């Protein structure tokens, strides 16, 4: 599965990506923002991958200008009603203060709430990471009740808040990018059919938002209308 | 020979330009899905070279494609029924020939069928890219199907049908076929999957407004007993009203001063009208019953069985 918008590509995490991901995840500037801060071995990494490589956990490597820049995920997915936990880390430090982290998250939120009928998205943020707290609040996430004193705090974005707040940010993001990069494109490969992922996703897609669905030799591609046009 | 997982039935009418691309897309979809399949084209006596294209496609893919050419233009529903009779797949997909239905939506139909455990899935469009008159006639057609057979009335020609239901409807001996009417007769396990409606790059719908109106007329007159029911009902009502009118004129004659000969004339007319319309109503009812027997429409349709075990283990003890 491959998702693209704003010039950012989300490519489903594969085994070949693990070693690079592990090295980035073990880097000091990433580790200090994670709850689990010990060194991760290749064996631990493979075991983790085996546990998340399924239809309830979708992990994507982020690609920008031809290089992998981070990892984004939608995990613990409950398909009906659609709910999941979002997560993101960008290992290229120079991109932290750009629009790339927000755009990456907006892509996932657009798929969840507009292309699919998600009811809720949750995320975990460390209490001593104000940058991530602000980031999530700006996107529409709110701190869940009873989480104020917890170290790894849980935030949630409801469907109502998405349409009240997040959608305006998506429209703004589309305004500042070129029109050719405003079309959300989702590509499904044979392995997505073989694993049954498409059995979950296809019936839930809001077809009123689809510009076209195209069949290629080895993939089915959905192209969605920009949010500001609908 | 092993039955394929899917049969795709496509009635063809003047679609020579679309068939190559449609076939290529279907090959791609079923390669991605990893299912075995066959493709059945039924050329409904096209005026262009659709049949030649079908023949060349069949030669290029003899393992997957078969083609049938109808002797004259029988209409989309009849052509689809012909294709259903030839289909051997465990599931059957019917779709249009002009790429208004995208093969890329086939996985959506399949997923919805699995999810809803249905026997018939319709691919329905969220936004119909059709003109007002066509949209109105199509909607009327669907509502007619709903009213006449208690169907959901929201179908389309993009369908995924289980082999069991397809087999049953191919036994029908009707001349005037409205497929959805027949499908509703045999199953209530019907689901709907939203699909993308592609404005065809190749041609407009094969149905003109006149054709749609003709289907509606055929559906009303030949596939239902509604006109006969109306005849019976109106016959009985008119006979009751005429008889009541006759009685009222007799009462008026007895109580008031009425010109000579008027009452006898009006009463004679009303009572004879009552007798004739009552008779017509009875004939209508007989015709309705004869019609139902003549169509070969079954009195019931079994969709699952729990048969008695004839090899009883308890008896052995």
pLDDT for B138 equals 66
| Helix pair angle (B179-186, B132-149), 10° resolution | 30
Contacts B110 to A, Cβ<8 Å: 199
Q: Give the start-to-end residue ranges of the domains of chain A.
A: 8-229
pTM (two decimals): 0.77
In chain B, beta strands by DSSP E = 6-12, 37-43, 65-69, 91-94, 120-124, 159-162, 190-194
pLDDT-derived band at A229 (thresholds 50, 70, 90) equals confident
Helix (H) or strand (E) holding A77: strand A67-78
Q: In 3-state terms, what secondary structure has residue B7?
A: strand
CB A193 to CB B196 under 8 A? Answer: no
Whose CA is closest to A219, among A201, A198, A204? A198
Whose CA is closest to B219, among B258, B182, B186? B182
pLDDT for A46 equals 96
CB B28 to CB A189 under 8 A? Answer: no
Q: Does residue A130 surpass a pLDDT of 70?
A: yes
pLDDT in tens, B292-314: 676 666 666 565 566 676 665 55
Closest residue in B to A200 (Cα–Cα): B111
Least confident of A64-68, A149-153, B260-264, B303-307: B303-307
Enumerate the H helices of A32-166 as residue ranges.
42-52, 100-110, 130-139, 159-161
A116 CB within 8 Å of a chain B CB: no
Q: CA torsion B76→B79→B85→B90, rounded to 10°?
A: -50
B80 CB within 8 Å of a chain A CB: no
- Provide the 10 A C-beta neighbour count for residue B132: 7
Prediction ipTM score: 0.81
Whose CA is closest to B145, among B226, B25, B42, B50? B226
Question: What's the average model confidence in pLDDT over A78-82?
Answer: 94
CB B28 to CB A215 under 8 A? Answer: yes
Closest residue in A to B194 (Cα–Cα): A207
Whose CA is closest to A158, among A206, A101, A113? A113
- Give the whole-angstrom CA distance, residue A30 versus residue A89: 8
Looking at domain A8-229, its CATH superfamily turns out to be: Gcn5-related N-acetyltransferase (GNAT) (3.40.630.30)
pLDDT-derived band at B133 (thresholds 50, 70, 90) equals low
CB B32 to CB A213 under 8 A? Answer: no
Asked if B141 contacts B212 with a C-beta cutoff of 8 angstroms, the reply is yes
- Give the whole-angstrom CA distance, residue B27 versus residue B147: 38
Q: In 3-state terms, what secondary structure has residue B201?
A: coil
- Give the whole-angstrom CA distance, residue A52 versus residue B5: 31
pLDDT for B239 equals 80
A183 CB within 8 Å of a chain B CB: no
- Give the whole-angstrom CA distance, residue B100 versus residue B74: 21
Contacts of B60 (CB under 8 A, 6+ apart): none
- Of residues A200 and B276, more confidence is placed in A200
pLDDT for B169 equals 85
A186 CB within 8 Å of a chain B CB: no
Least confident of A194-203, B120-129, B134-143: B134-143
Helix (H) or strand (E) holding A152: strand A152-158
DSSP assignment of B90-102 equals: SEEEE--SSSSB-
Contacts of A144 (CB under 8 A, 6+ apart): A122, A153, A154, A155, A156
The two tokens of residue B39 are 């493709």
- Give the whole-angstrom CA distance, residue A123 versus residue A86: 5
A205 CB within 8 Å of a chain B CB: yes
To the nearest whole Å, the CA of A9 is away from the closest chain B CA by: 22
A40 CB within 8 Å of a chain B CB: no
The two tokens of residue B287 are 């015709």
pLDDT for B183 equals 87
Asked if A86 contacts A156 with a C-beta cutoff of 8 angstroms, the reply is no
pLDDT-derived band at B210 (thresholds 50, 70, 90) equals confident
Q: Does residue B316 surpass a pLDDT of 60?
A: no
pLDDT-derived band at B226 (thresholds 50, 70, 90) equals confident
pLDDT in tens, B36-85: 999 999 999 899 999 999 999 999 999 999 999 999 888 888 899 999 99
**In the predicted model, what is the mean pLDDT of chain B?**
81
């Amino acid at each position: 599965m491959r998702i693209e918008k704003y010039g950012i590509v989300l490519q489903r995490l594969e085994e070949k990506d693990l070693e690079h991901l592990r090295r980035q995840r073990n880097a000091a500037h990433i580790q200090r923002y994670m709850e689990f801060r010990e060194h991760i071995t290749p064996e631990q990494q493979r075991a983790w991958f085996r546990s998340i490589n399924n239809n309830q956990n979708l992990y994507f490597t982020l690609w920008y200008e031809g290089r992998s820049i981070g990892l984004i995920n939608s995990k613990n997915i409950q398909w009906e009603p659609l709910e999941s936990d979002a997560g993101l880390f960008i290992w290229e430090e120079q991109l932290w203060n750009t629009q790339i982290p927000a755009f990456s998250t907006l892509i996932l939120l657009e798929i969840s709430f507009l292309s699919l009928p998600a009811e809720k998205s949750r995320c975990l943020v460390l209490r001593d990471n104000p940058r991530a707290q602000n980031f999530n609040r700006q996107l529409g996430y709110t701190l869940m009740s009873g989480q104020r004193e917890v170290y790894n705090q849980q935030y949630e974005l409801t469907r109502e808040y998405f349409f009240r707040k997040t959608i305006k940010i998506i429209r703004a993001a589309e305004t500042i990018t070129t029109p050719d990069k405003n079309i959300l494109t989702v590509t499904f490969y044979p392995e997505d059919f073989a694993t049954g992922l498409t059995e979950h996703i296809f019936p839930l897609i809001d077809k009123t938002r689809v510009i076209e669905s195209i069949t290629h030799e080895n993939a089915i591609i959905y192209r969605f209308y920009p949010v500001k046009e609908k | 020979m092993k039955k394929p997982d899917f049969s795709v039935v496509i009635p063809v009418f003047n679609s020579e330009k679309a068939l190559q691309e449609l076939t290529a897309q279907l090959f791609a979809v079923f390669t991605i899905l990893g299912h075995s399949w066959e493709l059945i084209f039924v050329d409904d006596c096209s005026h262009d070279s659709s049949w030649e294209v079908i023949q060349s496609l069949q030669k290029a893919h003899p393992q997957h494609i078969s083609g049938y050419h109808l002797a004259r233009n029988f209409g989309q529903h009849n052509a689809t029924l012909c294709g259903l009779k030839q289909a051997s797949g465990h599931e059957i997909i019917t779709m249009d020939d002009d790429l208004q239905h995208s093969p890329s939506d086939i996985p959506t139909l399949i997923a919805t069928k699995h999810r809803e455990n249905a026997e018939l899935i319709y691919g329905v469009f969220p936004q119909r890219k059709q003109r007002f008159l066509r949209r109105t006639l199509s909607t009327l057609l669907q509502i007619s199907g709903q009213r006449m057979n208690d169907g959901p009335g929201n179908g389309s020609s993009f369908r995924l049908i289980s082999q069991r239901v397809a087999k049953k409807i191919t036994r029908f001996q009707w001349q005037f076929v409205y497929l959805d009417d027949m499908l509703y007769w045999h199953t209530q396990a019907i689901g709907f999957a939203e699909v993308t409606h592609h404005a065809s790059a190749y041609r407009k719908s094969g149905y003109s407004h006149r054709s749609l109106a003709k289907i509606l007329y055929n559906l009303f007159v030949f596939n239902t007993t509604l006109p006969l029911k109306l005849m019976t009902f109106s016959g009985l009502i008119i006979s009751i009203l005429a008889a009541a009118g006759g009685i009222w004129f007799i009462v008026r004659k007895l109580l008031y001063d009425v010109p000579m000969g008027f009452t006898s004339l009006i009463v004679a007319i009303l009572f004879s009208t009552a007798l004739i319309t009552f008779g017509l109503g009875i004939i209508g009812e007989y015709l309705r019953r004869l019609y139902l027997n003549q169509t070969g429409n079954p009195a019931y349709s079994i969709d699952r069985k729990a048969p008695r075990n004839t090899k009883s283990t308890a008896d052995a003890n």
